[in-house]
Amino acid sequence: MKKFFSVVTAMSLAASLAACGSNTADTTSSAAETSSEQTAEQVTEEGTTDADKTFKVGICNYVDDASLNQIYDNIEAQLNKLGEEENVKFDISYDNCQADSNVLNQIIINFADAEKVDLMVGIATPVAMAMQSATEDSDIPVVFSAVSDPVSAQLVDSLEAPGANVTGTSDYLNTDAIMDLMFALNPDIKKVGLLYDVGQDSSEAAIKDAKAYLESKNVEYVERTGTTVDEVMIAADALVSDKVDAVFTPTDNTIMTAELSIYEKFAKAGIPHYTGADSFALNGAFLGFGVDYANIGTETANMINEILVNGADPATTAVMTFDNGIATVNTEICDELGYDLDEVKAAFEPFCTRVQEIQTAEEF
C-alpha cells in the first residue's frame, strides 16, 4: 500500500511538472505572437513601410489648351512613374476651372476641405495666385507650373529663395530671342502686330520687352487684344487689315486657346505668327519658340515628389527655369506662306539651340 501511494504521488508530480512546462511554452509562444503583432503595428504607425503610403495631390488647370494639357499629362505620367520607384502612391484629384474665377475658388476649397490634399498644383499664373491666397494660413504646400514671372506675380520672394509655401516651374519667355528669329528671316519688316490678352499676367512683361525691342529698331507696332475666342478672332482680322508684316504673341493662354480659330486668317494673308510655345505651332502658328512644356510637366512632378516624399521645403526650393532655345516650325504653314523650309532653318539656326518641325493638330 505504501508503494502504491508512492507511485501515485510520483505520477501526480510528473503530471504537474508536465502541465507547468506546457503553460510555460504557451506563455512564451503567446508573448512572441503579441510582440510580433506589436512590431507590425509599430512599423505601420511609424511609417517605416511605405508600400501603402499615399499622398493626395490636387491639380487645377486654368484652361484647355495644348500647352497646359501637355503639362498636366506629363505631371500625371511622371508621378505614376515616381510612385512605383519610391514605393508610394500619388492620389491625383484633377480639375479645370476653364478661366472662371468662381469655379477656381470652389475647386481650391474642395481640395482643402473635402479632398484634404497634401499638396496643390496650379497650372498657370491665375491658378497659382488663387492657391497662394487660399493657403496663406495653412501648411499646404503649393507647386505652380507655367508661371512666366513668379516674382512680379508676388508668388515668391525670389527665384532662388521663394520664402513661403509656394514654389514651382517657370516658362519665362526670352522675347528678344523670338524677335531675333523674326528679323533673321525677314530683315525688312516694317510693322509688327502684337496679339495678346491684357488680362494675362504672363503676357505683360513679354509685350513690354517686345515694344522695347521694336522701338530700338524703329519698327512700327500695332496692339490688338482679346479676352475670348471671339474677341481674338476680331483682333486677328484687324491685324490683317492693319497690313502687318508679322504677328507676335507671348505665352498667352487666351490666344493659345484661340489659335486653331485664327491661324488660317494669318496664313492666307501671308502673315507669319511668331509665338512663345511649340503648342502654338502645333495649332497652326508659323513658329513656336520657347520651353518644352512636356519637360515642364515632368520637372513639376519631380518637385512634387521632392516635397512630399523627401521632405523638401518649398520656401527654400528654388523655382526652376528652362532653356528657351527650341524653334518649332509648322511645315504646312511654312509652305503656305511661300517659305523654303531649308532657308528658314538656315536663318533660324544661329539663334536657337535647334529647329524642329511640326504639323497642325489639336493635341500633342
Percent of the chain with pLDDT over 90: 79
Question: Which residue is listed with cell 504646312?
Answer: 332
pLDDT band at 28 (very low <50, low <70, confident <90, very high): very low
Q: Cα dist. 189→60, 180, 265, 287 in Å?
A: 41, 12, 19, 16
Higher pLDDT, 23 or 194: 194
Comparison of pLDDT for 92 and 323, the residue scoring more: 92
Pick the most confident of 32-36, 50-54, 282-286.
282-286
Beta-bridge partners for 54: 89
Identify any residues that bridge with 55 across adjacent strands, giving them in sequence order: 90
Select from 45, 57, 52, 47 the least CA-distant residue to 305: 57
Pick the most confident of 22-31, 48-57, 114-123: 114-123
Amino acid symbol at 204 = E
The confidence score (pLDDT) of residue 290 equals: 87
pLDDT at 39: 40
Say if residues 227 and 34 touch (Cβ distance below 8 Å).
Answer: no
**Residue 300 and residue 78: Cα distance in Å, rounded?**
9
pLDDT higher than 60, residue 35: no
Question: For the ranges 6-20, 122-136, 197-211, 304-318, which has the lowest average pLDDT?
Answer: 6-20
Q: Which of 2-16, 45-59, 117-131, 231-245 has the lowest mean pLDDT?
A: 2-16
pLDDT interval class at 10 (50, 70, 90): very low
Of 185-194, 196-205, 295-304, the least confident: 196-205
Average pLDDT over residues 327-337: 98
Q: What is the pLDDT of residue 187?
A: 97
pLDDT reported for residue 322 = 87
User: Count of CB atoms within 10 A of residue 134's CB?
Assistant: 18
Cα separation of 311 and 273, whole Å? Answer: 44
Residue-level pLDDT at 33: 42
Q: How many residues does the chain have?
A: 364
Q: Report pLDDT digits (tens) over 135-162.
A: 999 989 999 999 999 999 999 999 999 9
> What average pLDDT score do residues 26-54 get?
47
Contacts of 354 (CB under 8 A, 6+ apart): 325, 326, 327
Residues 240-287: tens digit of each pLDDT: 999 999 999 999 999 999 999 999 999 999 999 999 999 999 999 999
Confidence at residue 202, expressed as pLDDT on a 0 to 100 scale: 79
**Confidence band of 19 (pLDDT split at 50, 70, 90):** very low
Q: Strand pairing partners for 123?
A: 61, 145
Grade residue 309 by pLDDT with cuts at 50, 70 and 90: very high
Which grid cell is 106? Answer: 470652389
